[in-house]
């Protein structure tokens, strides 16, 4: 972290850090690390928290809304940015079931799921039990694209 004279330069560095660390978290394989004996998967909770923070940060700048988190998350449907084409109910779900509880309480709601997935998946899908699943790899890929676009790369 560098010292910054402006909020803009601080946000730009924060976005670079968040996307890089989110990628590390999601690429990490617990099954190959002796510290995680018997566990599989990635560092999903911190990875998801970072991806949701990226949405919140860029959304607050592009969509405005001050402290209105719901407005920030509208960027997920903006055709120039994430273009996920989520329903209004799904947008609220992402904020309430994933972002809020994960960021503030360290868990996700029991009526939703989260998984690494792969790049062929949508960011948000519904399983056979009609439970929403947030797939981290496609979310990361879309976030890398959005951060690079935002930073002008």
Query: Could you give the CA distance from residue 136 to residue 108 in angstroms, rounded to a whole number?
Result: 14
**Per-residue pLDDT reduced to its tens digit, 59-107:** 999 998 888 889 999 999 999 999 999 999 999 999 999 998 898 889 9
Q: What is residue 7's predicted lDDT score, i.e. its pLDDT?
A: 83
- Count CA atoms closer than 13 A to 95's CA, side-chain side: 17
Please report, for the chain, the start and end positions of each structural domain, with discontinuous segments joined by +.
Answer: 7-151
Query: Could you give the CA distance from residue 11 to residue 94 in angstroms, rounded to a whole number?
Result: 22
**Per-residue pLDDT reduced to its tens digit, 106-135:** 999 999 999 999 999 999 999 999 999 999
Which tops the pLDDT comparison, 7 or 91? 91
Query: Could you give the CA distance from residue 5 to residue 21 in angstroms, rounded to a whole number?
Result: 24
Which tops the pLDDT comparison, 90 or 1? 90
**CA distances, 67 to each of 46, 91, 108 (Å):** 22, 17, 22
pTM: 0.92
């Amino acid at each position: 972290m560098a010292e910054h004279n402006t909020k803009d330069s601080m946000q730009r560095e924060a976005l670079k850090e968040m996307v890089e660390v989110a990628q590390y978290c999601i690429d990490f394989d617990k099954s190959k690390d002796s510290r995680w004996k018997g566990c599989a998967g990635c560092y999903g909770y911190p990875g998801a928290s970072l991806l949701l923070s990226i949405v919140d940060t860029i959304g607050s700048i592009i969509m405005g809304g001050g402290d209105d988190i719901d407005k920030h998350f509208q960027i997920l449907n903006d055709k120039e940015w994430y273009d996920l084409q989520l329903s209004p109910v799904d947008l609220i779900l992402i904020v309430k079931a994933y972002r809020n509880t994960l960021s503030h309480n360290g868990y996700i709601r029991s009526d939703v799921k989260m998984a690494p997935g792969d790049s062929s998946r949508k960011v948000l899908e519904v399983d056979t039990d009609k439970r929403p699943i947030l797939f981290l790899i496609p979310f990361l890929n879309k976030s890398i694209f959005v951060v690079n676009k935002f930073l002008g790369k």
